[in-house]
Amino acid sequence: MEIYRSWEEIPGNQKIVLAMGFFDGCHLGHQDVFQKTLALARKLHARPGVLTFWPHPMALLAPDIHVPLLQGRKEKEAFMEKAGMDFVLFLKPDQKFLQELPQAFMEKLASLPGLTGLIAGENFTFGRGRAGNSSLLQSWFSRRKVPVEIVRLLAEEGKTVSSTAIRELIQQGRMKEAALFLGRNYTMEGDVVHGFHRGSDVLGFPTANLSFTENRVLPKDGVYAARAVIDGRSYPAITNIGKNPTFGNSERTIETFIFHFDSSIYGSPFTLEWVERIRDEIRFPSPRALKEQIEKDIRKAEEILAAEQNEKRP
């Protein structure tokens, strides 16, 4: 999959169909947009691609308002490639771009050589003050004989599927509900960094400490059944997120004990898959009491992970 960072980089000798949006999390609704982009591209014998933005526009419009993200840029790229997109155009939304009228954005789109079709969710907005929307886009391009397909919002169990709703569920520790909207378990990618070594030295459970960025959506503090994906292989695990009150940490950490794994992965990337919350993070009277609880957590996690695996089998 090719990555472009300006309008001018898109080749002009091929027909293209563009999906448009920020697509944080690439949830079920976004996946519907990608599938319709592929279908229209096949129909029109064009290349399917994505027009998106990085960083999030709110980072410039309202820097004091913190918008945690469900995916890093590389994670988003990987998912879009897996979804069948041929290319992604990442536009950097500076102040000039964000203050442009909707007309200016549509004229730039129309100037793209080979533009054959557009796909956007019904809640897609653009231009100064978010004055432009998918209906305006469809009306404006209909006069230029470029089809614009508007994808309706999806609903699961009576709730609208959205990045905002998924962020709230994850922050509440409701991982199974978040997975229902995402179409998969929530994952985080990062490097394994050195921690306090209490897992191995004090408790007998060596942990992998995942690095994470400030702008990432984090689950509610507690203990979770999880999976660690290392070199393409998935291992059952439990993860604790929080300040580990038994030892009085001052910083929030994500520590994962990986079952049946004893290799060193410090400095290596791995993917953490959050499956289900087991309990709150609590303060124990002693490391021994904590160790006994961890043993119970492991047994509970094994039950959860085995049950989920059975559900996935045909």
Active-site residue set = 255
Asked whether 226 and 257 are in contact (CB, 8 A), the reply is no
Judge contact between 24 and 70, C-beta under 8 A. Answer: yes
C-beta separation of 190 from 266 below 8 A: no
With a CB cutoff of 8 Å and minimum separation 6, the contacts of 56 are 22, 24, 67, 69
DSSP 3-state of 149? strand
The β-bridge partners of 210 are 192
- Residue 135 structure tokens: 């209906």
CB-based burial, 142-162: b 16+ in 10 Å, e otherwise: eeeebebbbbeebeeeeeebb
Rounded-to-integer distance, Cα 29 and Cα 22, Å:
12
SS3 per residue for 170-217: HHCCCHHHHHHHHCCCEEEEEEEECCCCHHHHHHCCCCEEECCCCCEC
Q: Is 287 helix (H, G, I), strand (E, B) or coil?
A: helix
